Chain A
Amino acid sequence: MQGFVDQLIQEGYFSGAPRALVYAAAMLAVAFAVLSFFVAPLAGITSWLERRVWARMQSRVGPNRVGPQGILQWLADGIKNLLKEDIIPATADKWLFALAPYVVFVGFFATFVVIPFAGHLIVADLNIGILYLLAVTSLVVVGILMAGWSSNNKWSLLGGMRSAAQIVSYEIPAGLAVLNIVLIAGTLSMQGIIKNQGWAPWDWYLFYNPFTFVAFFLYFTAALAEGNRTPFDIPEAESELVAGYVTEYSGMRFLFFFFAEWGNLYVIGAVATTLFLGGWQIPAIPYVTESVVLTTLLQFIVFFLKAYLWVFVAMWVRATLPRVRVDQLMSLCWKYMVPLSFVCLLGTAVWMLIWPEGNRVVSFGMFLLGLLILALFFMRVNYQIRHARPELYLKPYV
């Protein structure tokens, strides 16, 4: 990024402008570009896709009217929300109320600084990348707490309180699960972690040893909880708290919360991909990998697909599971996930001691285990489709 701007300055662009100003302008331009051309459509399309996937799992159709298959539904919703009246309750703490959605949004959007898109495509490859990511996502809790408190609504307050307790607790298993990988990779940089893995699944950290395999699921669960997703969506819990901390919000402010929520899904997937699934690693394909542009494109696609797979899984989990209760949420975190992540961390550390370079045989075995689980799963799906339901739908007249 910096190198690119330096090159531009050397070539005579921006002549006369102070160097710092050029850097600042470049940063803003990149942020703007990422926001409008990547994050906004991504969050929007995720929202549409979630509704479609959800609907199909429930034997419904979902939004299919705006654009082909309804893919422009998010634009229609966005415009609608922009045109809505912006209501601030009379007794609300107006400053905090107005600020809260942006704090939540910043907490989510700042993560895109360190999220890699491809081998050379990253805003800033910080050497403390993953630590930075864990830190800025904690900013979300401040925003949610502000929203819950400032709305001056009891449901909002309960939602905000729940959210604070939940996010703070689940940072620990998430952090410990991440620590496994940091231990193996020996670096906090996102690109560094990816570079330590290979393109083949048995070179991924997911199958590095049994502990990282468990750690992956721990991380994913904890990340769902941090992102307030079902089964951990208790801060919103529409059947209990009406809408939780967003009860009093309307229009664009309301949209910002959901913008952050849906965008955050991609962040979860991207981090999981970076840490466990080999990131943008692609095998060396003759002719293709010689071109930088083609390589970058292919890497981007691979990374995006891997990340989006987990977005899909998050949607799917949401369509399947009931919500846990607030005390169960805490006991799940402190009694099950935190001890398990410590076990994983310890296991990985011991593993590192025994096989500092990793054990290829075990990795391959873990990979086969993963395939076995997948096969088992599709056997169940097959049973479900072929045997469990003799007849699809009964339609007396149609």
Chain B
Amino acid sequence: MEALAGYLKNIVQTVTTIFEGMAITFSHLVRRPMTIQYPDRIEKPVQETLPLRYRGILEVDLDICTGCLACERVCPISCITIGIDTNKETKQRFFSHFDIDICKCMYCGLCAEACPTGSIRHSQEFEGACYNPAGLVRHFVTKPVPLYKPKKGGETDPQMALKVEIGQKYLDEFATPEKSGGAGAEEG
């Protein structure tokens, strides 16, 4: 008798749980799908929907780079290589090259945190596909660029001031929790 009860219970359980499961899957049939149809069928580019903290492909604003090499030193994977030369006549130091190997970069964000002016930062860009791995090495120096020297009492050139401000904003907003004195706040 007990065996029969168990037998019938098995049948009833199977039928009812399948019934319930079918109701759930059916309810999903009339719901909106979750898929974001990247890349073409979206309302706006994904890049614009990403949060400010998103760690995309690195970009460098050489105009406000002081050439302190903090990023090169802190990079755990050595994907940043910076060359600084000195002009023999004017004694002015300038970048001979500033390369970031996107192939190697692991988007850890340590370099952006170490930067004192916010010149190296993560962009919202993440589409880096190209046919040749060499194309993934980003050369930021096309012609020799002099190093940036922060002026005392603020920047006077409005164009430069804007750039400095952008860099500073980057640092403030996410790279370094400034008020809390983060790992990148000071050189130890």
Contacts and interface: CB of A to CB of B under 8 A. Distances in A.
A151 to B, nearest CB: 34
A59 B27 CA distance: 11
Contact of A380 (B23, B28, B30, B31): B23
Interface stretch (B34-42, B97-105, B111-119, B137-145): B34-42
Given A321-B18, A380-B19, A397-B49, A57 B34 contact: no
Interface stretch (A24-32, A191-199, A239-247, A312-320): A312-320
A61 B35 contact: yes
For this complex, into which size category does the number of interface residues on chain A fall?
20 to 34
8 shortest A-B CB distances, which residue pairs?
A380-B23, A384-B27, A59-B34, A397-B49, A57-B25, A61-B35, A320-B21, A320-B25
A316 B26 contact: yes
A57 B23 contact: no
Give the interface centre of B32, B34, B50 by most chain A CB atoms within 10 Å.
B34
Given A57-B25, A316-B22, A398-B43, 13 more contacts: A56-B33, A59-B28, A60-B33, A316-B25, A320-B21, A320-B25, A377-B19, A377-B22, A380-B23, A381-B23, A381-B27, A385-B27, A392-B31
A355 interface: no
Nearest to B37: A61
Given A56-B33, A59-B31, A392-B32, A384 B50 contact: no
Interface in B37-92: 37, 43, 49-51
Contacts of A14: none
Contacts of B7: 336
A2 interface: no
Nearest to B30: A385
A396 B33 CA distance: 16
B24 interface: yes
A317 B33 CA distance: 19
B127 interface: no
B187 interface: no
Interface string B3-31: 00001001100000011111111111111
Contacts of A393: 32, 34
7 contacts: A56-B28, A59-B35, A377-B23, A384-B24, A392-B32, A396-B51, A397-B51
A320 B11 CA distance: 18
A282 interface: no
Interface string A379-394: 0110011000000110
B22 A317 contact: yes
A58 interface: yes
Interface of A: 53, 55-61, 316-317, 319-321, 336, 377, 380-381, 384-385, 392-393, 396-398
Contact of B33 (A55, A384, A397): A55
Interface string B142-169: 0000000000000000000000000000
B23 A384 contact: yes
A380 B11 contact: no
Contacts of A377: 19, 22-23, 26
A393 B10 CA distance: 35
A265 B94 CA distance: 72
Given A316-B25, A385-B27, A398-B49, A380 B32 contact: no
A370 to B, nearest CB: 14
Nearest to A54: B25
Contacts of A385: 27, 30-31
Nearest to B17: A321
B101 to A, nearest CB: 30
A61 B34 CA distance: 8
Nearest to A376: B19
Nearest to A382: B27
Contacts of A320: 18, 21-22, 24-25
A60 B35 CA distance: 5
A397 B50 contact: yes
Contacts of A398: 36, 43, 49
Contacts of B31: 56, 59, 385, 392
B54 to A, nearest CB: 10
A319 B34 CA distance: 17
Nearest to B49: A397
A394 B18 CA distance: 28
Contacts of A53: 29
Nearest to A231: B18
A299 to B, nearest CB: 29
A385 B25 CA distance: 11
A319 B29 CA distance: 11
A55 B19 CA distance: 20
A326 to B, nearest CB: 18
B53 to A, nearest CB: 12
Nearest to A62: B33
A336 B36 CA distance: 45
A70 to B, nearest CB: 12
